[in-house]
Amino acid sequence: MESSQPLELTHGGPEIDLPAPDLVLAWVQFPDRILEVEACVLAHTDRAVLVEWCFGQTADCAWILRDAIRERIPSSPCASPN
């Protein structure tokens, strides 16, 4: 079923892109488990954040609730410096 709500309402408000990713620990649900992963916040709204995480050489991203993240101490940057 397709939602009739605009994407802005679905994510909890206007989307704000970050100039530099914030480093976080994020709880992410997979089909067979829930894991806390090291991730980078790429964008956010009042209620949700777009996080990106890597497993090996594969990157993935998802919108998750803000309560499912916490700040982490940087161990490695999310993106390569230019």
The pTM for the full model equals 0.67
Q: What is d(CA 42, CA 67) in angstroms, rounded to the nearest whole number?
A: 16
Note the pLDDT tens digit of each residue in 12-36.
555 666 667 788 999 999 999 999 9
What is the pLDDT at residue 1? 42
